[in-house]
Chains A and B, each alone.
Chain A
Amino acid sequence: MDEEDLQELTSSKRLGLTEEFDLPKDEHGRFQSDFGNDTLSNLASGLMGLVAPAHESMGAKLLQKMGWRQGQGIGPRIAQMDIDVTFAPADTPIQHFNAKADSFGLGYDLVENVPQVAEMRRYQQQKRDQHMGKAITSKRAGFGVGVYEDENDDVMPYDDGISTRDLPRDYHHVIYDEDHETLLLHRQSARPKSTYSRPSCVTRCSDGHLPMNGFHISTAPYEHGKWYLPPDVPDIFDEFRTVLFATTKAQQPRNLTMDARGAVLGEQSLGERSVFDFMSTDSKKKLKQAAMQIEIDSKAPESNPLDKSKLRTILVSKEVAELALQGFIPFGDNLEKQRRYRKYLQICSQQNDNETSESQTIFPVPAGLSYDSGMKEMDEFIKSAKIFRPISGMMSSRFTTASNDLSNFGQSLSGEPSGKLEQVVFEGGLKSGKDWKKERDAQAQTQQEPSHAVCEQTEAATMGMFGSLTRTAKAFYPNRLVCKRFNVPNPHPDHLQEQNVNSRTQAGSSSILSDNVMGALVNQTVPNNNVQKDAAKEDPMMAAIIARPSMQVTESPTADQETQEDSQNIERPSLDIFKSIFENSDDESVDTNENEDSSPHLSKQCLATVEESDDFIGPSPPQHDAMTTTAESNLTDSSNKFAVHVKSEEFVVPPFQSRLASFDYHERSDRERTRSKHTKRKRDDDRKPSREIKHSKKKKEHKKRRHRHDSSRTDLLDDLSMWVEKKTT
């Protein structure tokens, strides 16, 4: 027997909590244990109550950490009415509930009403105690009482003193029962058989088994209930299904439409329905048109072989035609063709807006041409009309016609040999210096008036005649928010502000030569005043056409703005930016480029980049307001006189003059000096010379750069002209 067996033997041990986790000592006294109010537990708790345990229970430790003390209750502190001190709640005793195992009434106390019960319980307790007492004492006395002790001779050494009778019946002391010669492992065998005895002659069930315990075969018959017979199955009955009669009726419903089915069923019809009811009128119209178009198209090829004597083409739009009429008229080598082209353009320009664009007009096949070549010719006309437009002055001034093409220009509308128009055969190249000088002088004269104004101003200023002479008034458009902050109503409520306030404004824009801008420049048509007038004189038909100054097809986002400004400035002579840029450095006298007219901010952009790219720290030329009443641009003559302040003006304008180190060094340096005056305060005297030197270098580089750029533009036009050439031949 080892420890485990012993423990089992001494089964008086009961399961409980260790001291650590158990209730505190005082609780034991109150705790009515299930195990009975036996003396030992009472004794133990009583004893324990006297001696404080070495270990506190875990629960107590936890509570103490939270501020509890032995004897206090758990819960929120109680505040007395009159005193400011709060008290811990009183400790509540543990309620121990005894499960009701009897069926007496509530509150019925057996001991009270039946006094004998108490006696009996006492007696039973005694008996139990005897045995338990013996067992425990023997246990306590130690296992294996020696034979030397005379306490109880009857006690067998391996007997714990408890008779087998009192032990649970399942407990076996021996495994092998010698008397019965059976293993006592099965409990069942240990258990006596049930006392229930059957009668010897018992009726068995129908299958031969004995009935279960507690049952016997009844003698009375069993009423099963009414039994119904299954139906009669005919002889021909077969488990497999076959269709004997093929009905056509089953097929009919497949061919029925919804409406027909409805009719068969006897429903009311929904009426006529059409998918077109669900479309909007616009889409219906479009469908109709498309259908018509398809019909026309399908018919057209059919008609073509029928009618090869007529040419069917589309007309170009009115605006394009008008522009084309102003522009270069090609086909100079074929006068007839040219005539037909012009006629075509005239017809196009005279078309009404009422006619739809899809309408095709019929032209007679030209004499001497087949139908195919006639159609080809019409195509050429359409394409030429789209290409040849009068180009803006600055572009036109770049080109002059070759001498052998002078005859062509007899046909052109402008009629001037120096040509403001684009040429097809690119032989003319750049203008010769003389030609161009002449032209420029002519232009310069027209521009003298605005320049005078500025000179006057400065003259007046020097003379001290301040007042109306020196004063210019312009419109100023304060921001909406600015007006608000100043508590002033917006003086120009209709003026739309540009949105790019934060970004570098156009004056400082580096994208001047971007695609948009260049596109605008190229496509712009700002015919010279002279040209227009002459043209009107020469050709009465032209006079009938009202030339719009700024027709172009640019994709520039600021196109609208440009057109606005252009239209406003149409009276002014055109600004030749490129002319000014590529102006010969020999020519100092004329400075015609202060006019910010036809493309004011564009020109400023151009100049601005010129400024910018020069790396010169200077104010970028600002955007002039289109509403300038006086053009205060030109300071040519005054440049020499008023060295100091004017240099800043000149800077804005054609960079060339003032920038050349060789010529205008002294003038430049004056301006430099004014600028660097403020830097002088830093007393960095060494800055000045280095800056100036840097500039002269930069200028030359810039000059080169610009030339290169120009050549790229001419390449583009080259391509165009080449393309046109191919087509005509």
Chain B
Amino acid sequence: MAYPTECIQTLKGHKGPVNVIRYNVHGQYCVSGGRDRSVRLWNPKTGNHLYSYEGHGREVLGVSVSRDNAKLASCSADKAVILWDVSTGQLQRKFTDHWERVNAVDFNDDNSLLISGSFDSTLRIWDLRSSNFHAIQVIEDAKDSIMSLQVRGTEIICGCNDGKLRTYDLRAGQLFEDQLGAPVTSTRMSNDTNCILVNTLNSTIRLMDKANGQQLAEFKGHKHETYKVDSALSFDDAQCISGSEDGQIYIWNVADGLLLKTLASHRGVISSVDAHPTDLGLVSGGDDGLVRVWQ
């Protein structure tokens, strides 16, 4: 039962809290977005800061890397979703349809669509293949701010502040809403796509079964009552990793729900964590502006 224990790199560069940190599809790079309105590309192994994408007007709230590593999407409090070209650093598209700050963004597997969720309780789907500047579909099922979003295969999961975890199955044309009782801040699908890990604002992390909405596991112990905190499942779905408001990274064992380790990593809130997709590894970003890579 291996889990990351050691901080191998500390990536400095952000001038302000780091809001989101994400690995790319293979884990070679990680992208972070912060309060300083920049989206930064890092090599977590070497600790190099590769690029800084400037273009947002307000703090960056969400990032996502396309599956082919060519494009990067970021969303911000300036109501915009920006599509960047990774290699040239050029701003390719800017979608400004949202009425309020955009909290989360993700690519679909084909990299032909961007889906973004916002404070205005809408999910907007943007077409990247055409030059349409407007969303091709607006999903308005949510009744409150959409805090997190993930697209996998033909499914979209989003967590909303109204306490519901919504799963949109495109193949079946169905929407499943799971009432969780407390605002949902983070939603992650497990790597086997059967379960969804949700973070709720009552300091609870739940592992829900996607098919029937039942709870499979519950993780407690961390502090999550005020700020948005991410959680993730390790690549083998064996551990659940989460940030916390007390500056420690919590790692639980999924099988029995016990807390394995707490890693003191940041001063302040650890706003975002991401697990390496293929290997043992972890990257965390916190309010102190640092991004730490763990192994």
Q: Which residues of A contact B (CB under 8 A)?
A: 457-458, 460-462, 464, 466-468, 470-479, 481-483, 485-492, 501-502, 504-505, 507-508, 617, 619-623, 625, 642, 644-645, 648-649, 651-652, 674-675, 677-678, 680-682
* A435 and B179 alpha carbons, distance in the complex (Å): 38
A645–B165 alpha-carbon span in the complex (Å)? 13
- Asked if A466 contacts B162 (CB within 8 A), the reply is no
Determine the chain B residues whose CB is within 8 A of the CB of A477 once the complex forms: 173
Question: B110 touching A507 by the CB < 8 A rule?
Answer: no
Give a binary string over B140-165; 1 marks a CB under 8 Å from any A CB, 0 the rest: 11111100000000100000011100
Residue of B140, B141, B214, B228 near A678 (CB, 8 A) is: B228
Encode B120-137 as 1/0 by CB contact (under 8 A) with A: 111001010100001111
Whether A483 touches B170, Cβ cut-off 8 Å, given contacts A467-B214, A619-B120, A620-B120, is: yes
A457-B179, A471-B212, A491-B171 given; name 11 further pairs at CB < 8 Å.
Answer: A461-B163, A467-B215, A470-B180, A472-B176, A481-B136, A486-B108, A486-B110, A488-B171, A619-B119, A623-B140, A644-B201
Residues of B within 8 Å of A488, CB to CB, are: 154, 170-171
Chain B residues, CB < 8 A from A652 = 143
Q: Are B201 and A674 in contact (CB under 8 A)?
A: yes
The 10 closest A-B pairs by CB, nearest first: A491-B173, A619-B121, A461-B181, A622-B140, A471-B213, A476-B175, A645-B163, A479-B137, A466-B215, A467-B214
Complex alpha-carbon distance, A488 and B151, angstroms: 14
Indicate if B25 sits at the interface (CB-CB under 8 A): no
Residues on B with beta carbons closer than 8 Å to the beta carbon of A642? 181
Contacts of B174 in A (CB 8 A): 473-476, 491
| Nearest-neighbor residue (CB-CB) of A508 within chain B | B99
| CB proximity of A501 to chain B, nearest CB, Å | 6
A-B residue pairs in contact (CB < 8 Å), sample of 9:
A458-B179, A466-B208, A471-B179, A478-B137, A485-B129, A619-B144, A622-B141, A681-B17, A681-B35
Q: How far is the CB of A489 from chain B (nearest CB, A)?
A: 8
By a CB distance below 8 angstroms, the chain A residues around B228 are 677-678, 681
**Structural contact, B161 and A468, CB atoms closer than 8 A:** no
Question: Contacts A485-B110, A501-B137 known; A619 to B177 CB distance under 8 Å?
Answer: no
Q: Is the CB of A474 within 8 A of B175?
A: yes
B209-220 Cβ-contact flags toward A at 8 Å (1 or 0): 000111100100
- In the complex, are the beta carbons of B163 and A482 less than 8 A apart? no
| Complex-state Cα separation, A483 to B129, whole angstroms | 14
Pick the residue among B122, B136, B212 that contacts A468 (CB under 8 A): B212
**Least CB separation from B109: chain A residue:** A486
Q: Which residues of B contact A (CB under 8 A)?
A: 17, 19, 35, 59, 97, 99-100, 108, 110, 112-113, 119-122, 125, 127, 129, 134-145, 154, 161-163, 168-183, 201, 206, 208, 212-215, 218, 226-228
Which residue of B has the minimal Cβ distance to A466? Answer: B215
A476 near B179: Cβ-Cβ < 8 Å? no
Minimum CB–CB distance for B52 against chain A, Å? 21
Pair B179/A470 contact, Cβ less than 8 Å = yes
> Distance (Å) between the CB of A409 and the closest chain B CB?
42
Residue of A nearest to B213 (CB): A471
In the assembled complex, how far is the CB of residue B215 from the closest CB belonging to chain A, in whole angstroms?
4
**Beta-carbon contact of A476 and B173 below 8 Å:** yes
Closest-CB distance, B176 to chain A (whole angstroms): 6
Least CB distance, A620 to chain B, in whole angstroms:
7
Q: How far is the CB of A330 from chain B (nearest CB, A)?
A: 45
- State the main secondary structure of chain B at its contact with A: loop
CB-CB < 8 A to A486: which residues of B? 108, 110, 113, 154, 170
Contact A501/B172 with A470-B178, A470-B179, A619-B143 known, Cβ cut-off 8 Å: no
Out of A458, A478, A507, A680, name the residue touching B173 (CB < 8 Å).
A478
Distance of A492 Cα from B120 Cα, bound (Å): 26
Residue contact A619 to B142, C-beta cutoff 8 Å? yes
A461 to B184 CA separation, bound complex (whole angstroms): 13
CA distance A472 to B167 in the complex (A): 10
Chain B residue numbers with a CB within 8 Å of A644 are: 182-183, 201
A129 to B193, CA, bound (A): 122
Among candidates A470, A491, A622, residue contacting B170 with C-beta atoms closer than 8 Å: A491
Contact call A648/B177, Cβ cutoff below 8 A: no
Give the distance to chain B from A655, nearest Cβ to Cβ, in Å: 14
Given A476-B175, A645-B182, the answer on whether A622 and B142 have CB atoms closer than 8 Å is: yes
Measured between alpha carbons, how far is A625 from B166 in the docked complex, in Å?
A: 15
Complex contact B177–A474 (CB within 8 A): yes
How far apart are A336's CB and chain B's nearest CB, in angstroms?
56
Q: Whole-angstrom distance between the alpha carbons of A478 and B135 in the complex? A: 12
Across the interface, which residues of A come within 8 angstroms of B177, CB to CB?
Answer: 471-474
Nearest B residue to A462 via CB reads B181
State whether A675 touches B145 (Cβ < 8 A).
Answer: yes
On chain B, the residues within 8 Å of A625 by CB distance are: 141
Least CB distance, A605 to chain B, in whole angstroms: 13
Interface centre among A478, A486, A619, A648 (most CB of B within 10 A): A619
The CA of A568 and the CA of B86, in the complex, are separated in Å by 50
Closest CB in chain A relative to B71 CB, distance in Å:
15
If A470-B213, A476-B173, A680-B227 touch, whether A620 touches B121 (CB-CB below 8 Å) is yes
Q: Which residues of A contact B170 (CB under 8 A)?
A: 476, 478, 482-483, 486, 488, 491
Flag if B215 contacts A464 (CB, 8 Å).
yes
Which A-chain residue is minimally distant from B225 (CB atoms)? Answer: A677
**A502→B175 contact, CB < 8 A:** no
A474–B164 Cα distance when bound, in Å, is: 13
> A620 — which chain B residues lie within 8 A by C-beta?
120-121
Question: How distant is A554 from chain B, measured CB to nearest CB, in Å?
Answer: 24
Measured in the bound complex, the distance between the Cα atoms of B218 and A485 in whole Å is 35
Which of these, B100, B138, B144, B178, contacts A617 with CB under 8 Å?
B100
Q: What residues of B have a CB within 8 angstroms of the CB of A489 in the complex?
A: 171
Contact between B144 and A648, CB atoms less than 8 A apart: yes
By a CB distance below 8 angstroms, the chain B residues around A481 are: 127, 136-137
| Nearest CB in chain B to that of A623: its residue | B140
Alpha-carbon distance between A461 and B165 when the two chains are bound, in angstroms: 12
User: Contacts A466-B214, A620-B120 hold; do A674 and B183 have CB atoms under 8 A apart?
Assistant: yes
Contact B134 A502 (CB under 8 A): yes
Of A485, A502, A622, A681, which one neighbours B108 at CB under 8 angstroms?
A485
List B contacts of A678 (CB < 8 A).
Answer: 119, 145, 227-228
A678 to B103, CA, bound (A): 10
The reply to whether B141 and A474 form a contact with Cβ atoms under 8 Å apart is yes
Q: Which residues of B contact A461 (CB under 8 A)?
A: 163, 179-181
B144 CB contacts on chain A under 8 angstroms:
619, 648
Knowing A461-B181, A466-B213, A681-B227, say if A482 contacts B125 (CB, 8 Å): yes
| C-alpha spacing A714/B288, complex, angstroms | 60
Assess the B110–A645 pair: CB atoms within 8 A. no
For the complex, give the distance between the alpha carbons of A678 and B145 in Å: 11
The reply to whether B143 and A649 contact each other, CB–CB distance below 8 Å, is yes
Residues of B within 8 A of A649 (CB): 143, 162
Which of A466, A467, A501, A625 is the most central at the interface, judged by chain B CB atoms within 10 Å of its CB? A466
A645 to B169, CA, bound (A): 25
A645 CA / B100 CA spacing, docked (Å): 20
Q: Are B140 and A487 in contact (CB under 8 A)?
A: no
Q: How far apart are B187's CB and chain A's nearest CB, in angstroms?
A: 14
